[in-house]
């Protein structure tokens, strides 16, 4: 690109960015996230290698150019000396013989040469001048050269001359001028030229090869840098995977510590020390909750027993009886809360044993629904069970009953009079699906990610009813389902109800064939 064109391009580019592109480029750049460490290392390595490769390529190119120029000058000097051997000076007369007479058309007079026009690039360029600078003989193509006066005067003063000149058609020519002397006195000047087109073509080929090979080397270096960066960051990725597993709640795991004593080694050791401290803190917290829950069961049971005894008295005043009934209700709720806390604490300590046996999930859901049917009728809620598919899973029957009861209790609690609750059981090739759908108040989107957290209450979306829940029911559901290697999720819209979905692995085929337990054998209290 010419200099004027580069300036125009720069001005236009700045105008476009300032007038039109600035409004759209800034938000785009603001939303672009920085590349990862691996890509950053690759980019930096590639940039540094590209800089070094460009510098070395430039120096190599300039060295080759200087060498070729020096070789060309040496070649021209040698040729001039060979031609000078065929020129003699005798009593003021310059004679040609030998090599000089063999040059094409060199013996013609200058006037005769001017009638011939040949291409400079494919011709011999030789000229002979006398001591006054008058041309005596020259090859036909030499007439097309624009020769400076210094190329004649400098050799006559005792120093050879060489430099780059141009032909009339714009071709570059390297010219060498040397004086011919006899007894220390110059009597003629021999000039010999060499077109530079072939030299430039050679340099262009060298530059093209350097560019292509440099690009290939740069690509290989980028790929190699990416591979080396990935290999160097492999321990970090192992730490990340281990930390992700630990994030799920298993604080007994530790990240792998590399053998090499480097920064990653110290990072892994520090990370393990931090996890050990956190594990000890959570262990003490869980131990405290378990111990406190266990110790509270005795006084709560005593309060409930004494309340029952007090209510058996016939002469008890009505206001006292009502007060004792409220105390009994609160005590029962506190007892359930303590039982739930103790179950979760033992689950966190991995002290809960699950009996895995084939369980007919469809019959279990029908039995739980039969138990809760009276409560649904009392609240004016329609309860439906859709469990036409026979579905068998491997699990702890008592815990699975607890899952269904908690989900059903949650649905009945937050469904208004005239609403409906549907229990659906179906299965595909690998999973059993339990869905509890209600037409209740629903859950706001900002509460959905926290709905399974302990003691979380989605206020005010689901507190429009008189709720006596403790906020642990859904946490227990998630814990039991997770132990059974299943998943639980919720979909809800405010004012349109909620759908809780539980997916559990199906039991192997042999348990389906032997599973003949009747529905009435399920006992739910």
**Which CATH number covers residue 483?**
3.30.565.10
Of 7-16, 369-378, 489-498, least confident by mean pLDDT is 7-16
Tell me, what's the pLDDT at 490? 93
Could you give the 3-state DSSP secondary structure of residue 511?
helix
Which residues are within 8 A (CB) of 359 and not within 5 positions of it... i.e. 6 or more apart? 392, 393, 394, 395, 397, 400, 507
In a domain, 177, yes or no: yes
Domain match, 373 and 466 both: yes
Please report which helix (H) or strand (E) contains residue 269, including its range: helix 263-311
Higher model confidence: residue 415 or residue 324?
415
Domain match, 343 and 463 both: no
pLDDT of 120 higher than 50:
yes
Q: pLDDT by residue (tens digit) across 374-389? A: 889 999 999 999 988 8
Domain match, 428 and 508 both: yes
Tell me, what's the pLDDT at 524? 53
Other beta carbons within 10 angstroms of residue 446's beta carbon come to: 9
Higher model confidence: residue 224 or residue 8?
224
Question: Mean pLDDT, to the nearest integer, of 105-132?
Answer: 68
pLDDT of 160 higher than 60:
yes
Q: Beta strand 420-427 with 135-138: parallel, antiparallel or unpaired?
A: unpaired
Domain match, 395 and 489 both: yes
pLDDT of 393 higher than 90:
yes
Whether the pTM exceeds 0.75: the reply is: no
Domain match, 391 and 309 both: no
Domain boundary among 167, 195, 223: 195
Q: pLDDT by residue (tens digit) across 361-373? A: 999 999 999 989 9
Domain count, the chain: 4
pLDDT of 449 higher than 80:
yes
* Token reading at 421: 């609750």
Domain match, 327 and 361 both: no
Q: pLDDT by residue (tens digit) across 472-490? A: 788 888 988 988 999 999 9
* Token reading at 280: 């000890």
Higher model confidence: residue 250 or residue 394?
394
SS3 content of the chain, % helix, strand, coil (to 5): 55, 20, 25
Q: What percent of the chain has pLDDT over 90?
A: 19
Question: Mean pLDDT, to the nearest integer, of 257-283?
Answer: 78
pLDDT of 460 higher than 50:
no
In a domain, 136, yes or no: yes
Higher model confidence: residue 3 or residue 206?
206
pLDDT of 275 higher than 90:
no
Tell me, what's the pLDDT at 5? 42
pLDDT of 38 higher than 70:
yes
Higher model confidence: residue 352 or residue 462?
352
Tell me, what's the pLDDT at 3? 39
Of 27-36, 141-150, 284-293, least confident by mean pLDDT is 27-36
Domain match, 371 and 340 both: no
For residues 37 and 196, what is the distance between their CA atoms, to the nearest angstrom? 50
Give the domain range for residue 95: 85-195
In a domain, 234, yes or no: no
Domain match, 361 and 471 both: yes
Q: What percent of the chain has pLDDT over 70?
A: 77
Higher model confidence: residue 465 or residue 511?
511
What does pLDDT average to over the chain? 79
In a domain, 404, yes or no: yes
Name the band, by pLDDT with cuts 50, 70 and 90, for residue 12: very low
Of 13-27, 113-127, 183-197, 356-370, least confident by mean pLDDT is 13-27
pLDDT of 520 higher than 50:
no
pLDDT of 512 higher than 70:
yes
Tell me, what's the pLDDT at 311? 78
Whether 202 contacts 68, CB under 8 Å: yes
Domain match, 89 and 5 both: no
Could you give the 3-state DSSP secondary structure of residue 433?
strand
Domain boundary among 170, 195, 220: 195
Question: Mean pLDDT, to the nearest integer, of 91-115?
Answer: 62
Q: pLDDT by residue (tens digit) across 315-363? A: 778 888 888 888 877 777 677 677 766 676 666 666 567 788 999 999 9
Other beta carbons within 10 angstroms of residue 233's beta carbon come to: 17
User: How far, in whole angstroms, is CA 281 from its chain's centroid?
Assistant: 35
């Amino acid at each position: 690109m010419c200099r004027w064109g580069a300036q125009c391009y720069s001005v236009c580019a700045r105008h476009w960015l300032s007038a039109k592109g600035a409004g759209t480029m800034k938000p785009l750049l603001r939303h672009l996230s920085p590349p990862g460490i691996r890509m950053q290392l690759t980019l930096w390595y590639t940039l540094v290698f590209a800089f070094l490769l460009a510098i070395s390529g430039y120096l190599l190119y300039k060295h080759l150019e200087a060498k070729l120029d020096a070789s060309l000058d040496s070649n021209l000097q040698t040729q001039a000396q060979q031609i000078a051997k065929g020129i003699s000076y005798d009593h003021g007369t310059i004679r040609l013989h030998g090599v000089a007479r063999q040059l094409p058309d060199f013996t013609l007079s200058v006037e005769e040469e001017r009638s011939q026009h040949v291409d400079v690039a494919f011709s011999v360029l030789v000229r002979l001048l006398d001591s006054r600078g008058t041309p005596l003989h020259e090859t036909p193509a030499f007439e097309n050269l624009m020769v400076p006066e210094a190329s004649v005067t400098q050799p006559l003063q005792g120093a050879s001359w060489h430099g780059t000149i141009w032909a009339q058609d714009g071709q570059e020519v390297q010219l060498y001028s040397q004086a011919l002397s006899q007894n220390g006195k110059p009597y003629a000047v021999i000039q010999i030229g060499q077109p530079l087109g072939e030299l430039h073509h050679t340099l262009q080929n060298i530059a093209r090869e350097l560019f292509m090979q440099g690009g290939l080397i740069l690509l290989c270096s980028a790929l190699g840098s990416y591979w080396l960066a990935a290999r160097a960051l492999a321990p970090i990725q192992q730490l990340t995977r281990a930390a992700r597993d630990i994030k799920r709640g298993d604080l007994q795991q530790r990240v792998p510590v590399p053998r090499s004593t480097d920064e990653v080694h110290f990072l892994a050791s520090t990370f393990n020390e931090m996890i050990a401290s956190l594990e000890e803190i959570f262990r003490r917290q869980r131990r405290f909750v378990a111990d406190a829950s266990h110790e509270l069961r005795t006084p709560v049971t005593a309060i409930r027993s004494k309340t029952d005894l007090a209510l058996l008295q016939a002469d008890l005043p009505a206001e006292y009886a009502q007060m004792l009934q409220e105390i009994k209700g609160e005590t029962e709720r506190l007892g359930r809360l303590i039982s739930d806390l103790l179950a979760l604490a033992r689950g966190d300590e991995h002290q809960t044993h699950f009996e895995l046996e084939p369980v007919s999930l469809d019959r279990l859901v029908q039995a739980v629904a039969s138990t809760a049917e009276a409560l649904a009728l009392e609240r004016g809620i329609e309860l439906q069970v859709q469990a036409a598919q026979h579905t068998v899973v491997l699990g702890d029957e008592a815990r699975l009953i607890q899952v269904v009861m908690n989900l059903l209790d949650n649905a009945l609690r937050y469904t208004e009079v005239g609403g409906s609750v549907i229990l659906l059981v179906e299965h595909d090739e690998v999973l059993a699906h339990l869905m509890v759908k209600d037409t209740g108040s629903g859950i706001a989107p900002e509460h959905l990610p926290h709905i399974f957290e302990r003691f979380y209450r989605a206020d005010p979306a689901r507190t429009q009813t008189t709720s006596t829940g403790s906020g642990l029911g859904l946490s227990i559901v998630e814990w039991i389902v997770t132990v059974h290697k299943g998943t639980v999720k919720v979909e809800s819209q405010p004012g349109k109800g909620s759908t809780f979905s539980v997916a559990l692995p199906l039991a192997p085929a042999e348990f389906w064939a032997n599973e003949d337990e009747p529905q009435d054998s399920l006992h739910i209290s």
